A and B are shown apart, each in its own frame.
Chain A
C-alpha cells in the first residue's frame, strides 16, 4: 500500500476550487473560439484551428488535474531535483537549433512537429516544488544566506535562461516567485534584503540592455505617440475594452478580433472578454479569479505541514501573479509583456500544467 502511486485522500478536499478551475478551462475554450475563429479561418482555413488545440489541452489538463488530486502531494518531494534538472534541460534545449521554435523574435518554445511546449511554464512550477521541498526539509534554512543559496541558484539560473529567450515577463514572474517563496518560508530581514537589493537593481539593468523594453515603457505611458509601432497593441486592447462598455457587445460579437488586436486568443484574451462581456462580465471573472486565490491561500494556511504550506502558497502565487500582471498589461497599467492569462489564454503547456498544479492544490486541501 505504501508504494501505491494513487491514494484516496483522507477526506474530501476543496471541491469548489476544482469546479472553478474546470469551469475556467471550459470558459477559456469558448472565449478562444470567439477570439480566434476569424483569424483561424483566414490564416489556417479552419475557424476551429485554435480552439481544437485548446480543447485537447483542456482534456489533458482535466486528466492531469484529476491524477494530481489523487497523488499524495508528499510523493512529489523526491521529484524536486529531477524536475528542476528537467526544467533546466528543457530551457537549454530551446536554444538548440532544430528543436527551439522562434516566434515573433523570441525563442520560447521547443517543438516536435506541430506540438510545441513552453519550458518556462514548467520551470515556474519546478521552482515552486524545489523551494518548498528545500525549505521544509531544512527548517530555518531561509534565515541564512547559505541556507537560501540552493533556491537562489536555481531561481537565478532559470531567470538567466528565460531572460535570454527573451521573455521578460516570465523572468519577472520567477523572480517575484523566488522572493515570495523565501518570504513565505519565514526568512529574516537581513537575508531577504540580501536577495531583494540585487533584484531591484536587475530591473533597470535589464531594461538598459535591450532598448526595445524602454520603447515599450514609453508606449505604455502614451501609446498614441507611436500608434503603429510600440503603442499599437495597447491601443487595440484599449479600443476593445472601450467598445465593451458596461455590458459588452455580446459573446462572439467582438470587432477587434478581426485581426486588429494581435494575440487576441492568447495574451490579450482579456481584451476580447472585456469587449464581448463588458465591465460587468470582467468583474464577475475577476471575482472567480479572486475566489481561486482565496481558496489557495486558505488551503495553505490550514496546512500544518511546512512542505504542503509552501507548495500550496507557491502554486497560488504563480496563478495570482499571472492573473494580476496580465490584467495590468491588458489595461495599460504596466508596460506590455507577453504573459498568458492562466486557464483562459490559448497555450497548452500553460493550461495543462496550471490545471495539474490545481490538482496538487486540491490534494493538499484533502490531506490536511
Chain B
C-alpha cells in the first residue's frame, strides 16, 4: 500500500507542476510565444500629396508593388525563378540561387513594380511569392522647386526639404496584416488573419504658384547660362502677406532621379541657398537705410535728412580714420546735388553713409532689428541662416557707415526680400511661409496656415514715399533694365564684391536686384541673385533684366492689365 501511496504522491507533484504551468503561468507564456507564432506584412499608408496654391499637383504617388519570396514555401524553385525573371526582368540565375540557398526566410524579388506586372504574377499563382503595395513618389515637374520640396527615401520617409519638415503630416500611419505561420514563416492552414488598416497621410497645399515658379526657373536658367555664374537664386514673394510664390536655386537636380550615389553633389545641389546661405547684399540694402531715414524724418527727428535735402557731392567720407569711397568717380558732375531719390537712382554710397551716421547707432539698429536682420524670418523650412550683423555693442562708426550701403553685413536672400517687402507694403513684417493649408485625404481643408504679422517696420506714409523713390530708380536710375511700360515696376540694384580670406576677391561679385510692382500697391516682389557672373557684373545689367523677365511672365500668366 505504501508503494501505491508513494506513486500517487509523485503523480500529485506532477499534476501540481502542470497546474502551475498551464493555469497560473499560461497567460504569460502565451504572451511570450505570440511573437514566434505571427508574421506581419505592412500595409503601407499612402503619402499625402503636395499641391501648389492653385491645386496643381507637385508631388504625388505612383502605386507600385514590392514582390517577396519566402524560399521555404516555394515548391518548384526553378519554375518560380523562370516566371519571376520573365515578369520582372530580374536575373534568373541569381534569383534561383537565392531561392535555393535557403538561409534567409524572405528575399525581395522586385521593388516598385507596376500593377500590370502584378496581375501577371497573380495569374501564375506561384506558392511562396507575396506582394505588397508600396508607393513611389513622383514629382510632376522634376527639377522645379527641387530644393524646397525635397525628396523621400525608397521607404517613403521624407529626407529633405518640405518632405522632411511635413513628414508627420504627409506620412500617415502604416497598418499591417498579421497571420499565423509555422516556424519558417509558411502560413498555417488554420491561420488567423488580423488586418489593421493604414491611415493615409494628409496632403499639403503650398503658397507656391507653380506657373510663376516655372517662369522664374526658366529665367534663372537662362541667366545662369548667359552669365556663366557659379549659381543663381531667386525668390518671388507676395508682399501683402509674405506668401512665397516661387523659390529658385540653380543649378538643381531632378527629383525623379535623385543622385543618391554622389552625396557631395547631392548635398550641394539640394541646398536651398536663398534660405540657408548668406551673402553681402551691397546696394539693395540701401532700400532699408532710406526707409529708416524717411521714417525718422516723418517722426520729426532733426538728425534725419528730408527728401529735399541735397547731399554732399564729395566722392569720399572719412570715418574713424578710414576713407569710404563711392563706386563712381564723381567726375564730370556725376552724383552731384543729389536728393535721397537721386542718391537711390545713382546708388551713391556716401549719401547712405551720411544717413547711417546721422541716425546713429541706436536708432539705425532699431530699424535693422525691426527689418529682421541678424535673425531668422521663421519660414517653415529647416536650416535657415541667421545672417550676420555686428552686435550693437561692438559696432564702430566705420562699420555703421558701411552697413548704410550694404557692406559689413550679411543676409540671406529671404531675409532681404522680406525686409524690403515690409518696407514697401506699408510697413508690415509677416512671417514668410511655404505652407498654405493642410488637406485631408477626403479633400477638406483641416488646417489653414494664416499669415502672422510679426512687427511693424515703418509707417504707411514712409513706405509710400519709399515706393515712389524706388519706382524712380527703375524709371530713370540704375534699375532701368527692369522697366516695363505701364506696370509701375520699382526696385533697387545691388553689386557687392566678394571677400575671400578677409580680402576683396578680385573679379568676384554678387549681382542682385530686388524689385516689385505695382509701386503704389505692391503685389509681386522678386529678388534675383547672381553669384559670380563672368564678364558684366553690375546688378543693373545682370540681375535687373532677369527680374523684368520674371515680371513680364507674371503679367502674362496672371493676365494683368497695365496700371497707367
A residues contacting B by CB (< 8 A) are 38, 42, 238-239, 241-246, 253, 255-256, 258-260, 274, 278-279, 282-283, 286, 289-290, 293-294, 297, 320, 324, 327-328, 331-333
In the bound assembly, the distance between CA atoms of A328 and B37 in angstroms comes to 26
Tell me which residues across on chain A come within 8 A of B499, comparing CB atoms.
Answer: none
Query: Secondary structure at chain B's binding surface: helix, strand, loop or mixed?
Result: helix
Whole-angstrom distance between the Cβ of A257 and the nearest chain B Cβ: 9
Q: Which of these, B3, B14, B26, B184, contacts A243 with CB under 8 Å?
A: B26
A contact residues around B33 at 8 Å (CB): 239, 242-243, 255-256
Q: Is the CB of A282 within 8 A of B23?
A: no
A-B pairs, 10 with minimum CB distance:
A242-B29, A258-B182, A239-B33, A259-B183, A242-B26, A279-B22, A327-B14, A331-B17, A241-B21, A245-B26
Residues of B within 8 A of A42 (CB): 182, 186
| Neighbouring B residues of A293 by C-beta, 8 Å | 7
Sample of 21 A–B contacts (CB below 8 Å): A42-B186, A238-B21, A238-B25, A241-B18, A241-B21, A241-B29, A242-B27, A243-B29, A243-B33, A245-B23, A258-B180, A259-B183, A274-B22, A282-B18, A286-B11, A286-B14, A289-B11, A290-B11, A293-B7, A294-B4, A320-B7
| In the assembled complex, B188 has its CB within 8 A of some CB on chain A | yes
Chain A residue nearest in CB terms to B24: A242
B563: Cβ under 8 A from any A Cβ? no
Chain A residues contacting B442 (CB-CB under 8 Å) are none
Q: How far is the CB of A226 from chain B (nearest CB, A)?
A: 15
CA distance A327 to B17 in the complex (A): 10
Q: Quick check: is B32 within 8 A (CB to CB) of the other chain?
A: yes
Task: Give how many B residues have a beta carbon under 8 Å from the other chain's beta carbons.
Answer: 32
Specify which chain B residues have a CB less than 8 angstroms from the CB of A239 in the assembled complex: 29-30, 32-33, 36
Alpha-carbon separation in the docked complex, A259 to B180 (Å): 13
The answer for the CA separation of A242 and B190 in the assembled complex, in Å, is: 20
Partner of A260, one of B4, B17, B32, B36: B36
Chain B hits for A294, CB < 8 A: 4, 7
CA of A244 to CA of B26, assembled, Å: 8
CA distance A238 to B18 in the complex (A): 10
Query: Which residues of chain A have C-beta atoms less than 8 A from B21's C-beta?
Result: 238, 241-242, 274, 331-332
Contacts of A333 in B (CB 8 A): 14, 17
Within the complex, what minimum Cβ distance (angstroms) separates B7 from chain A?
A: 6
Query: A332 CA to B10 CA in the complex, in Å?
Result: 15
Chain B hits for A278, CB < 8 A: 22
Interface check B339, CB cutoff 8 A: no
Question: Is B8 among interface residues, defined by CB-CB distance under 8 A?
Answer: yes
Question: Does B15 make an interface contact (CB < 8 A)?
Answer: yes
Q: Are B180 and A238 in contact (CB under 8 A)?
A: no
B32 and A279 contacting across the interface, CB-CB below 8 Å: no
**Once bound together, how far apart are the Cα atoms of A139 and B25, in whole Å?**
52
Q: Which residue of B lies closest to A283 (CB)?
A: B15
B10: A residues at CB distance < 8 A: 324
Cβ of B28 under 8 Å from chain A: yes
In the complex formed, the residue of A with least CB distance to B187 is: A258
> Hey, what's the 0/1 contact readout for B122-154 against A, CB within 8 Å counting as 1?
000000000000000000000000000000000
B30 pairs with A258, CB closer than 8 A:
no
Q: Is B79 an interface residue (CB 8 A)?
A: no
| A245/B183 in contact, CB under 8 A | no
Q: Chain B residues with Cβ under 8 A from A297's Cβ?
A: 3-4, 7
Residues of B within 8 A of A283 (CB): 15, 18
Closest Cβ neighbor of B72 among chain A residues: A42
A258 touching B188, Cβ below 8 Å: yes
A129 to B10, CA, bound (A): 26
Contacts of B23 in A (CB 8 A): 245-246, 279
